[in-house]
Amino acid sequence: MIDKSIKKLVCYGLEKELFSLRDEIYVTNRLLEILGLDEYDCDDNFSNVNLQETLKELLDFAVEKGLIEDSIVHRDLFDTKLMGALMPRPSEVTDKFNSLYKQSPKAATDYFYTLSCDSDYIRRYRAEKDIKWVASTEYGDLDITINLSKPEKDPKAIAAAKNAPQAGYPKCMLCRECEGYAGRINFPARQNHRVIPVTINNSEWCFQYSPYVYYNEHCIVFNAKHTPMAINRDTFKKLLDFVKQFPHYFVGSNADLPIVGGSILSHDHFQGGNYTFAMAKAPVEYPLTFEGFSDVDAGILKWPMSVIRLSSSDTDRLIGLADKILKAWRGYTDETAFIFAETNGEPHNTITPIARKKGEKYELDLVLRNNITTPEHPLGVFHPHAELHHIKKENIGLIEVMGLAVLPSRLKTEMSLLETALLENKDIRNDEILSKHADWAEEIRQKYNCIDKDNIDKIIKDEIGLVFAKVLEHAGVYKRTPDGITAFKKFAASVK
């Protein structure tokens, strides 16, 4: 049976063009080596191979033979090693990408994205487990995702990772040294991972896809050197240069300060992809004019966070104005609006920028951020407040800023239990798991005259969407009130 499983994986690789027929014997022998086998005999041919089932057969064999422990972490390390045996060399991938780019940027990214999926670097069967829906709000249709694609580590693996020696190679999960890396108990294997070198703003960067694909063709563009996140004039140049090279993609950067930044601040990187978020569709609500830049269309978006959109066919003009706005915001204080550029020498103001091409013009969305904390709001004043933590407590990074909620996996179970509790009129406030949702559940009960088994799922999903809209409102430095808009315009007028 193991010979058939090996042959199925080989046939899968041939079918997906991960290697050519000339390499079949070589790939087979590599798989035999990994599995600790000396003999092989299988003349069968297979088509439409189910990769997940085939890898499970091989992993079960590895567990049975004592090659690996039976845990998600060890299985992931081992099946990545198996898939690595099927992969083309990085230079081959880059050469094909560059050749296809001459046809069109989209042809190149289509090839690379397909490869990243077929190689199992993007584990599609896990990404498909994510619960996704669209929620209508006053800001448009927001994307909601309950993230189930990151596997939960078992207690043994967590303990082993804690006790494992801390290695300094690769320096982080975004480093180019991850390409082909075997991984370890506390670092994912990447033998099936490939990156494409790109030059943006005359500097060396790399292009890859996210293994968790929160949206279509979710890509990561990262500095070839391990250097910290930074938002400055060069950031705007790099974002727009990337969009010029890949006009069918948007690209944006997390902010460069804790709380309002992403989960990795130690390595400069962007995220992009072939997707249109709700924020990209948001209209300009209050037009703005900046001194010396009357040729650049500008305005405040109708969006829960505080966003200035700039639009022009001239990217140099966009860069120039964006830099002025950034510098003005870095040093801006307005105590009446609780905006402090710094306290005790700690800077608070930064920007989350997003670039895209729309028609013949380029757009830059500049999201104003501030990471000040207070005793009342120790996680951040412009961060989801405590009353929303039952749904979303984590930082609001680039993806959320644009209108996609990435919610914790616990909500899958909790929402199912909450639906039952609402239908059966149970005591939620004294329920150990659901008590955190008690106030929210009471609001839902009062809001809807009829809650039954036919509408409960939609009601809960709609209400989660409305909570996420509030999360974004909390993260906005200027509130969408008359006073808030006046304060926002006051800042815009200060940009010289």
- Residue of 387, 386, 384, 376 whose CA lies nearest to 439: 387
Which positions ≥6 away from 475 have C-beta within 8 Å? 260, 304, 305, 369, 382, 383, 384, 396, 400, 401
Calpha distance 310→300 (Å, rounded): 9
Mean local confidence (pLDDT), 167-179: 94
Backbone dihedral angles phi then psi of residue 3, each to the nearest 5 degrees: -65, -40
Q: Check if the beta carbon of residue 382 is closer than 8 Å to that of residue 260.
A: yes
Lowest mean per-residue pLDDT among 1-5, 145-149, 195-199, 208-212 = 145-149
pTM here? 0.94
How large a percentage of the chain has pLDDT more than 90?
94
Lowest mean per-residue pLDDT among 5-19, 106-120, 158-172 = 158-172
Mean local confidence (pLDDT), 451-458: 97
Is the model's pLDDT at 415 over the cut of 80?
A: yes
Calpha distance 328→268 (Å, rounded): 23
What pLDDT, in 10s, does the model give residues 302-323? 999 999 999 999 999 999 999 9
Residues, the chain = 496
User: pLDDT value at position 263?
Assistant: 78
Q: Check if the beta carbon of residue 198 is closer than 8 Å to that of residue 207.
A: yes
Q: Check if the beta carbon of residue 296 is closer than 8 Å to that of residue 317.
A: yes
What pLDDT, in 10s, does the model give residues 73-114? 999 999 999 999 999 999 999 999 999 999 999 999 999 999
User: pLDDT value at position 264?
Assistant: 86
Is the model's pLDDT at 165 over the cut of 90?
A: no
CB atoms within 10 A of CB 247: 15
What pLDDT, in 10s, does the model give residues 126-146? 999 999 999 999 999 999 999
Q: Check if the beta carbon of residue 240 is closer than 8 Å to that of residue 225.
A: no
- Residue of 283, 272, 286 whose CA lies nearest to 140: 283
Q: How confident is the model at residue 149 (pLDDT cuts 50, 70, 90)?
A: confident
Is the model's pLDDT at 167 over the cut of 80?
A: no
Q: Check if the beta carbon of residue 249 is closer than 8 Å to that of residue 218.
A: no
Is the model's pLDDT at 163 over the cut of 70?
A: no
- Mean pLDDT for all residues in the chain: 95
Is the model's pLDDT at 452 over the cut of 70?
A: yes
CB atoms within 10 A of CB 496: 9
Is the model's pLDDT at 465 over the cut of 70?
A: yes
